Chain A
Amino acid sequence: MTKEQNKRKKHVFGMVIDLDKCTGCGSCMVACMSENNVPFREDESDKKRSITWMRVYKLTNGKSFPDTEICYLPRPCMHCGGHGDHGHSPCVSVCPVNATRYGYDTGIVSQIYTRCFGCRYCMAACPYHARYFNWWDPKWPGEMEKYLSPNVSPRMRGVVEKCSFCYQRYQAARDKALYEGRDEIEENEYQTACTEACPAGAITFGDLNNPDHMVYKMVQPDPHHTRKPLNPKAFRLLERLETNPKVYYISEREWVRKAGDNYIKGEWEKLNKNHGKSDE
């Protein structure tokens, strides 16, 4: 990094997903697959083998008919800042070959396919199952290879892949800004494919470090406490692991917010009084 770049305010790109708006339609999953040249196979019903950078989970409140409720939860890579938000993401800290790095200027956790030699430590370390391994070389039947995008390298057998917050779109936006002689990119210039495609407008993407950005306004990240959400309706997955994810969820429903972590009996009620902060 040059000195000049260092002077610029660093970005912390993050995502907010409104679970009350999400309809579980699956557009985000396919938008991601088609943007990022994600391969597919004949049988994709074994979900441990199925590569879905963005995956929509279905949560239920566990009650019986007719009190059952359902909520859909899209899960991209959380782009964890790690303990203390210092960039020691669970996956980054275990990679022996620097194939996955924490971008200190963007907050994005990268994945460099040709560096990856397939040890899968990162997959074991990721608490969100956001990483996938290519057990086979991907195949595009017939002439389907013709629709592959040059902006994302197709992967090969033996490497791990995951959501990159559509980093290629960041690069394109940055290039455009540089070309036009601007230092900064606008909020709408860099949006992930899933955000743009979501027909329900449930996904919002932007810079968590920029108070003007929608994501900042929605969750009010607390800069003194590793960007924990100050909005009581917002939460992060497995917050107490201190992985400090950059993906936030919003829901009016209490059982949905509770589903974001594991609690022993009675613990949630105690924590919930204090909006997710412990009593101490």
Chain B
Amino acid sequence: MKVDRRSFLGLGLGAVAGVTVSPLPWKLIDDVSIWTQNWPWTPVPPDGEVTYDNTVCTLCPGHCGISVRKINGRPVKIEGRKGYPINDGGVCLHGLSSLQYLYDPARVKQPLMKKGKVWEKISWKDAITLVTGKLAELRKKQSPDRLACITDTDKGTISGLFERFLKAFGSNNFYTISSMDKTWEKTFKMMHHSGSSPGFDLKNSDFILSFGCGFIEGWGSPVHNFKINSAWKENKAKFVQIEPRLSHTAAKADMWIPVKPGTDADLALGMCCEIISKDLYDTSYISGFTKGFNDFSNMVKKNYTPEKVSKTTGVPASKIKELALKFAKAKTPVAIAGKGRGYKAGSMKEFTAVHALNCLAGNINKKGGVWTMPFMEYGNWPAINMDSVASAGVSKPVIGESGSVAALFEKINASKKSPVDLLFVYQSNPCFTMHDVKAVEKAVEKIPFIVSFSSVMDETAEKADIILPSHMFLERYEDVPGAFGLVEEVTGLCVPVAGPVFNTKNPGDSILMIAKALKGSVASSFPWENYHACLEKITGDIWDKLSGDGYLRKDANLPYLRPDADFSFAAQNTESVKMEGSEGSFPLILVPVDNMRLFSGVFASSPFAVKTVSDTIIKKRDILVELNPVTAKKIGLSHGDYAMIATPKGTAKVKVHIFEGIMPGVVGMDEGLGHTAENIFIKDKGVNVNELVGPVIDTGSGLDAAWGIRAKLSKV
């Protein structure tokens, strides 16, 4: 057959048209794409029956109820528990990432013992024998007081067991990490009754004055607060934020009052002065229920006139007067304190000044006000059997005057030989969360033997000599007493909803094992077979309700205390907490910034949480510090430039983020970065601001109340 030009073109065009019209090429492309995507390493999660289990999240002190979705018993998703009194279905990003914490590669998978610098695997039996050996030695030497313990809280039966163990052993050295809760408790002790803490009825309040609280950045019970914040928008309540920086909270506030860092107490006292001078306070409450009011009134009138305060705080006198008037005229005003998340203690001067505002408004033990709540008490702990060693031990005073962790470490660093021979660390990470990390590390290294009960290899666990790894909260039973600052008492129950994934134990069981192995009076003080039996016995009559509903709520008939208030401490006008460093060599002020998306507590942020963090906070491995354009221009820095930040405590290389919302002269730096413990998703990202800020002891409380430090930025 002759192929001429005409038929060649015809055939060719026909073929092109045929192929185009036929589905073949499209089908082939589709098949090829499907084929190239069916890799054996692409996971196919197994399907199965869907169930839900309820428990309580204990990652932060908020204690939300959560619901775990499971497929064939395998947890796949965390959701908020609907109807739970604290969070009613809402849940924060950290709680949502709990399953990443469950399977975290950084978890301690079985008991470990340090040989030289290397961790070696050890059986539970050998680990307990080793720890009890060390403990028995201390008792033999008649020095049980050389045992100390650091935990995050003294509430709940697990912490209760630790505290009880120390007593039975013969030591008073039981420490909890200082947070704003402690300052509030001390404030209430001074102004109301000992053994009480505040319950803020913020939901029913119509005017809220927040002195630097990160109300929606993790303060108190975060999810509870998010809900209240939305309720305020609907009820048209007014929220005023006093802070040198436009935080998330300030951004959502109805009014943001930038105040010079560290002068919150002055502003509060200035408002008190205005309220008293204009007779705007609740006279019936003040005359009927308070002591020391005249002294307080004279003191503020003398030292804190709005004009004087205006100079210290940088807030115009007219604004102070306006604010005082608005506060006093509001129906149910509440003033709150506790900087950022409130994970650090605050100054007594500031807290008492802020609470004086509440008292002047007469809004104590009233709807929409502040309630004096007695410490939640339950649990029928039997008496402890004390032998002569234990009795002698507990007669010695606690190491470190104020009984705070900071005081303990200071004492250790000041002594040639550590007064503590053996340290228990449970659910706390002082080598990351405390001010002046270097000094903390030095003190920790001086302690001869450290037992960590951590479930992850964090900065403090890395420095331990032996780790008895704990179940994480999804794997264990635990009673969870209510969150700080709530008006209703909610006790939650953590139940195992997964695992245990690794060879870990409930920390309650670990401590029981140690006690039993010690024999004698110590063992007989712990008559329970295991932690579960102990929990059931101690919670006693509320156990049925706890295990049935998962929580116990008490709100109607709380035994609130009398609303009496005492102004004498506030009238003393104690020193403000000054920041370290001189203005000459350090012209700027560094303030730590709490960010909801970065966890700054015991745990490092999860991969999901880190993913949500803006690239104006972390870029590759660099942390960015916030700087007002005016300040940046003075130093000659622009956005994205590298700079060295220096404080009296140390230096670090940072990048600059130009932010209009921060006061000129102030540098903002996020908390929760700069982890050094092994974790590929967060390790060596940024700088730990606690390395740059040193502790400053507040005279009023004896606690470290540093809120910032003087700093210098220079171009590199």
Q: A residues touching B (Cβ–Cβ < 8 Å)?
A: 20-21, 23-27, 29-31, 33-35, 37, 40, 42-47, 50, 52, 56, 58, 60, 62-66, 68-72, 97, 113-118, 137, 140-150, 153-156, 158-159, 193, 196-202
Report if A52-B611 is in contact (Cβ < 8 Å); known contacts: A43-B620, A45-B619, A199-B227: yes
* Closest B residue to A37 using CB positions: B45
Tell whether B4 is near chain A: CB-to-CB under 8 Å.
Answer: no
B614 contacts which chain A residues (CB < 8 A)?
A: 58
Tell whether B610 is near chain A: CB-to-CB under 8 Å.
Answer: yes
Q: Considering the chains assembled together, what is the distance between the CA atoms of A146 and B660 in angstroms?
A: 44
Interface stretch, picked from B53-61, B98-106, B536-544, is B98-106
A27 contact from B93, B227, B607, B680, Cβ within 8 A: B93
A64 contacts which chain B residues (CB < 8 A)?
A: 629, 660
B226 contact from A23, A60, A69, A149, Cβ within 8 A: A23
The residue in B38, B89, B612 that gathers the most chain A C-beta atoms within 10 A of its C-beta is B612
Report if A196-B612 is in contact (Cβ < 8 Å); known contacts: A20-B233, A34-B97, A97-B30: no
Are A156 and B37 in contact (CB-based, < 8 A)? yes
Interface stretch, picked from B75-83, B272-280, B417-425, is B75-83
Are A137 and B45 in contact (CB-based, < 8 A)? no
Tell whether B256 is near chain A: CB-to-CB under 8 Å.
Answer: yes
Are B248 and A24 in contact (CB-based, < 8 A)? yes
Are A25 and B615 in contact (CB-based, < 8 A)? no
Report if A42-B33 is in contact (Cβ < 8 Å); known contacts: A25-B226, A52-B611: no
Scan residues 617-670 of chain B and give those whose CB is less than 8 A from a CB of chain A: 618-620, 628-630, 660-664
* Closest A residue to B251 using CB positions: A70
Are A34 and B96 in contact (CB-based, < 8 A)? yes
B91 contact from A27, A116, A142, A148, Cβ within 8 A: A27
The residue in A23, A24, A140 that gathers the most chain B C-beta atoms within 10 A of its C-beta is A23
Q: Considering the chains assembled together, what is the distance between the CA atoms of A35 and B137 in angstroms?
A: 52
5 residue pairs bridging A and B, Cβ less than 8 Å apart: A21-B229, A29-B611, A33-B611, A43-B620, A97-B26
Q: Considering the chains assembled together, what is the distance between the CA atoms of A153 and B42 in angstroms?
A: 9
Are B34 and A144 in contact (CB-based, < 8 A)? no
Q: Considering the chains assembled together, what is the distance between the CA atoms of A79 and B226 in angstroms?
A: 28
* Closest A residue to B257 using CB positions: A66
Q: Considering the chains assembled together, what is the distance between the CA atoms of A114 and B38 in angstroms?
A: 8
Are A40 and B628 in contact (CB-based, < 8 A)? no
Report if A65-B96 is in contact (Cβ < 8 Å); known contacts: A70-B251, A97-B26: no
Q: Considering the chains assembled together, what is the distance between the CA atoms of A23 and B614 in angstroms?
A: 15
A33 contacts which chain B residues (CB < 8 A)?
A: 608, 611
Interface string of B39-57 (1 = CB under 8 A from A): 1011111111000000000
B310 to chain A, nearest CB (A): 15
Are B248 and A158 in contact (CB-based, < 8 A)? no
Number of A-B contacts (CB under 8 A): 209
Are A149 and B76 in contact (CB-based, < 8 A)? yes
* Closest B residue to A25 using CB positions: B596
Tell whether B74 is near chain A: CB-to-CB under 8 Å.
Answer: yes
B36 contacts which chain A residues (CB < 8 A)?
A: 158
B100 contacts which chain A residues (CB < 8 A)?
A: 144, 147
Are B227 and A200 in contact (CB-based, < 8 A)? yes
B246 contacts which chain A residues (CB < 8 A)?
A: 66, 68-70
B93 contact from A25, A65, A145, A159, Cβ within 8 A: A25
A149-B69, A197-B91 known; 20 other A-B pairs, CB under 8 Å? A21-B233, A23-B226, A23-B596, A25-B596, A26-B596, A29-B93, A45-B618, A56-B612, A64-B660, A65-B664, A71-B251, A97-B26, A114-B34, A115-B33, A142-B105, A146-B74, A148-B43, A150-B44, A156-B42, A201-B230
Tell whether B124 is near chain A: CB-to-CB under 8 Å.
Answer: no
B214 to chain A, nearest CB (A): 11
A199 contacts which chain B residues (CB < 8 A)?
A: 80, 87, 90-92, 222-223, 226-227
B91 contacts which chain A residues (CB < 8 A)?
A: 27, 31, 197, 199
B664 to chain A, nearest CB (A): 7
B96 contacts which chain A residues (CB < 8 A)?
A: 27, 30-31, 34, 197
Tell whether B216 is near chain A: CB-to-CB under 8 Å.
Answer: yes
B226 contacts which chain A residues (CB < 8 A)?
A: 23, 25, 199-200
Are B258 and A66 in contact (CB-based, < 8 A)? yes
B46 contact from A44, A70, A97, A150, Cβ within 8 A: A150
Q: Which 8 A-B pairs have the closest CB atoms?
A: A199-B90, A199-B226, A142-B105, A117-B33, A70-B251, A30-B93, A150-B47, A26-B612
Are B230 and A196 in contact (CB-based, < 8 A)? no
A200 contacts which chain B residues (CB < 8 A)?
A: 90, 216, 226-227, 229-230
Tell whether B677 is near chain A: CB-to-CB under 8 Å.
Answer: no
Tell whether B446 is near chain A: CB-to-CB under 8 Å.
Answer: no
Are B90 and A65 in contact (CB-based, < 8 A)? no
A68 contacts which chain B residues (CB < 8 A)?
A: 246, 660-661
A132 to chain B, nearest CB (A): 12
Q: Considering the chains assembled together, what is the distance between the CA atoms of A156 and B662 in angstroms?
A: 42
Are B99 and A147 in contact (CB-based, < 8 A)? yes
Q: Considering the chains assembled together, what is the distance between the CA atoms of A58 and B229 in angstroms?
A: 19
* Closest A residue to B225 using CB positions: A199
B575 to chain A, nearest CB (A): 28
A21 contacts which chain B residues (CB < 8 A)?
A: 229-230, 233
Q: Considering the chains assembled together, what is the distance between the CA atoms of A44 and B621 in angstroms?
A: 10
The residue in A148, A198, A199 that gathers the most chain B C-beta atoms within 10 A of its C-beta is A199
Are B45 and A196 in contact (CB-based, < 8 A)? no
A20 contacts which chain B residues (CB < 8 A)?
A: 233
Report if A196-B79 is in contact (Cβ < 8 Å); known contacts: A40-B611, A65-B663: yes
Report if A42-B223 is in contact (Cβ < 8 Å); known contacts: A58-B614, A156-B37: no
* Closest B residue to A61 using CB positions: B660
* Closest B residue to A149 using CB positions: B76
B103 contact from A37, A63, A71, A146, Cβ within 8 A: A146
A25 contacts which chain B residues (CB < 8 A)?
A: 92-93, 216, 222, 226, 248, 596-597
Q: Considering the chains assembled together, what is the distance between the CA atoms of A33 and B612 in angstroms?
A: 10
Report if A60-B45 is in contact (Cβ < 8 Å); known contacts: A27-B96, A44-B611: no
Report if A50-B37 is in contact (Cβ < 8 Å); known contacts: A25-B216, A70-B251: no
B250 to chain A, nearest CB (A): 8
Are A45 and B615 in contact (CB-based, < 8 A)? yes
* Closest A residue to B610 using CB positions: A44
Tell whether B609 is near chain A: CB-to-CB under 8 Å.
Answer: yes
A131 to chain B, nearest CB (A): 17
Tell whether B301 is near chain A: CB-to-CB under 8 Å.
Answer: no
Are B660 and A60 in contact (CB-based, < 8 A)? yes
Q: Considering the chains assembled together, what is the distance between the CA atoms of A4 and B613 in angstroms?
A: 48
B346 to chain A, nearest CB (A): 23
B611 contacts which chain A residues (CB < 8 A)?
A: 29, 33, 40, 44, 50, 52
* Closest B residue to A28 using CB positions: B93
Are B78 and A42 in contact (CB-based, < 8 A)? no
Tell whether B71 is near chain A: CB-to-CB under 8 Å.
Answer: yes
A43 contacts which chain B residues (CB < 8 A)?
A: 620
Are A158 and B74 in contact (CB-based, < 8 A)? no
Report if A142-B97 is in contact (Cβ < 8 Å); known contacts: A27-B92, A149-B77: no
B489 to chain A, nearest CB (A): 21
Tell whether B681 is near chain A: CB-to-CB under 8 Å.
Answer: yes
Tell whether B501 is near chain A: CB-to-CB under 8 Å.
Answer: yes
B556 contacts which chain A residues (CB < 8 A)?
A: none
A114 contacts which chain B residues (CB < 8 A)?
A: 33-34, 37-38
A115 to chain B, nearest CB (A): 6
B620 to chain A, nearest CB (A): 6
Tell whether B17 is near chain A: CB-to-CB under 8 Å.
Answer: no
A141 contacts which chain B residues (CB < 8 A)?
A: 105, 680
B38 contacts which chain A residues (CB < 8 A)?
A: 114
Q: Considering the chains assembled together, what is the distance between the CA atoms of A14 and B528 in angstroms?
A: 56
A156 contacts which chain B residues (CB < 8 A)?
A: 37, 39, 42
Q: Considering the chains assembled together, what is the distance between the CA atoms of A141 and B679 in angstroms?
A: 11
Report if A148-B45 is in contact (Cβ < 8 Å); known contacts: A26-B597, A33-B611, A97-B30: yes
Q: Considering the chains assembled together, what is the distance between the CA atoms of A58 and B71 in angstroms?
A: 36
Report if A137-B39 is in contact (Cβ < 8 Å); known contacts: A65-B258, A115-B30: yes
A137 contacts which chain B residues (CB < 8 A)?
A: 39, 41-42
